[in-house]
Amino acid sequence: MSAFSGNITPDSFSGAIFAVEGIRDACTVLNGPTGCKFYHSAISESQFQRDIGRDPLIFRSEFHFGMPRVPATYLDGNDYVFSGREKLERLLRMAAGEGHGLIAVINSPGAALIGDDLSGFLERTVQGTPCFALETAGFSGNFGAGFQRALASAMDVLKGPVAARRAGTVNLLGLGIYRRYYEGDRHALKRLLALCGVDVLAFPGAGDDAASFARLGQAALNVAVYPEYGAYLADKLRAEYGAPALVLEEGPPVGFDACEGFLRQVCAALDADPAPALEQIERARARAYRFLARFTGISGFPKGALFSVKAEASTAYALTKWLSSYLGMIPQAISLNDEGESPFVPRLKSYLDSINRCGALTSSVISSPCHLLFADANTIAALRLEGQRFCGIEIAMPSLSYIDVTEKSLLGEQGALFLLEQVLNGLRYVLT
């Protein structure tokens, strides 16, 4: 039996909500009971703040419950029997007057069984604001499916007029606010590509506003940074606008090698020069060497240290390969999030087989002793309950509520240095 609670893993319902909440000026109207609201509202606001003062009296409407995000219809027993139409139309009238760039109504799984005509409610109540309804986010499908379905619906209602593609431009797909350090990752990738003369037009679902969706069709290339959350969107944009879709061969740019691979692959597709950005990576490598040489000379580590990972397949592949090949660490256990088909599952299996660690994929991250665990906070907390001495490094949501004042990233060369910092300090904790 798994030691961590499977129901904590976000599903397609959460994916759809966080996708819309990742659009800066969008409003997610949740048609469901209050219990479906609070987690999504709290996480959205903590990741992507709208209310600086956090004064609950500002949000005194019957639908907000003192929270600035995800107003909900608070469905009860009578609504499930007789329809929640009255509450939903009142909420929509309120949302329509708030100046949002997009309004999306998302049914909770239970509310989807009522059969209310959400699109009809929107048509009658909301005029002048782009809007769409998701009658169901997928009934326990995976996070990526709900995330991409909601963003695809947003693309349909927010698309701009057909325009010529702009040379040297990309859309970066698959990032979102339900990612640890997503804001720093945005800036890291945009900065590196700018050094190559490549302009990022949009990060749909990762902090851009609704107006940015009208630019999606102008990009010369659509890059699925995380294929589990962006490959479908890249294919959709290719079908509608003709721009090529690119899935990164080395996975998301976690670590120096994957970061170099990301830049070379994107620049090759756009006929751009990666040299200036590659120079930045070399400087980061030189800085990393200084600290690694001293730490290894004193302790012998990180070579030979045991690590475990819980993540989607693309991240697990890139991180495992970097930690093993660059730092000489040994993968002890790897647990993959259920995100459906991913091209990185067979690649990860092949790589683990090449280093004689194929058993890591069948080992439990909870019961397998390790020095470092790269995972979400819930998994880290579960391993702590086992009484093991290890260091947990957060690479995914949910978090342990550490307040990040300084911007951090997991991607790019600065992300590699940040992860190395976590590794070295984590090993110091474990070894003392």
User: So what's the pLDDT on residue 338?
Assistant: 86
Strands (E), 316-420: 330-336, 372-375, 391-394
Q: How far apart are CA 68 and CA 242, in angstroms?
A: 39
Rounded-to-integer distance, Cα 377 and Cα 77, Å: 35
Peptide bond preceding 398 in cis form (omega within 30 of 0): yes
- Per DSSP, what are the bridge partners of residue 246? 223
As a whole number of angstroms, the distance between CA 213 and CA 158 comes to: 6
Is the pTM value of this prediction over 0.85? yes
Burial class of residue 268 (count of CB atoms within 10 Å of its CB; 0-12, 13-18, 19+): exposed
- Cβ neighbours around 61 below 10 Å, total: 12
Distance CA 397, CA 185 (A): 14
Helix axes of 275-299 and 256-270: crossing angle, nearest 10 degrees: 170
> In the prediction, which pLDDT does 339 show?
81
* Token code pair at residue 113: 């069984």
* Torsional sign, CA 15, 21, 26, 32: positive
Q: Which residue, among 316, 290, 291, 301, has the nearest Cα to 376 in the 3D structure?
A: 316
Q: What is the pLDDT of residue 1?
A: 44
416: closest CA among 286, 305, 309?
286
Residue 98 exposure: Cα atoms within 13 Å on the Cβ side = 18
Strand segments, DSSP code E, in 176-229 are: 199-202, 219-224
Q: Closest Cα to residue 191, out of 271, 267, 280, 257?
A: 280
DSSP secondary structure string, 76-134? -HHHHHH-SHHHHHHHHHHHHTTT-SEEEEEE-TTGGGT---HHHHHHHH--SS-EEEE
**Along the chain (432 residues), what's the average pLDDT of each consecutive run of 10 residues?**
58 96 96 92 88 66 87 89 86 93 94 84 91 86 95 96 93 97 98 98 97 97 98 97 96 98 98 98 98 94 97 98 98 92 94 97 95 96 91 94 91 98 96 84
Query: How confident is the model at residue 54, as a pLDDT?
Result: 62
Q: How far is CA 106 from CA 49, 71, 121, 138, 146, in A?
A: 21, 11, 12, 11, 11
Tokens for 13, please give them.
């319902």
Q: Please, are residues 252 and 226 in contact by the beta-carbon 8 Å criterion?
A: yes
Q: Which of 55, 129, 67, 54 is nearest to 98 (CA)?
A: 129
Which amino acid, 328? Answer: G
392 near 373, Cβ under 8 Å?
Answer: yes
**pLDDT score recorded for residue 111:** 86
User: Domains, the chain, ranges and CATH?
Assistant: 9-158 (3.40.50.1980), 166-270 (3.40.50.1980), 278-431 (3.40.50.1980)
What is the distance between the terminal CA atoms of the chain, rounded to a whole angstrom?
32
Q: CB under 8 Å to 204, separation ≥6 — which residues?
A: 22, 23, 151, 154, 155, 171, 173, 212, 213, 216, 233
Q: Which amino acid is at 211?
A: A
Residue found by looking up tokens 């007029």 in the block: 161
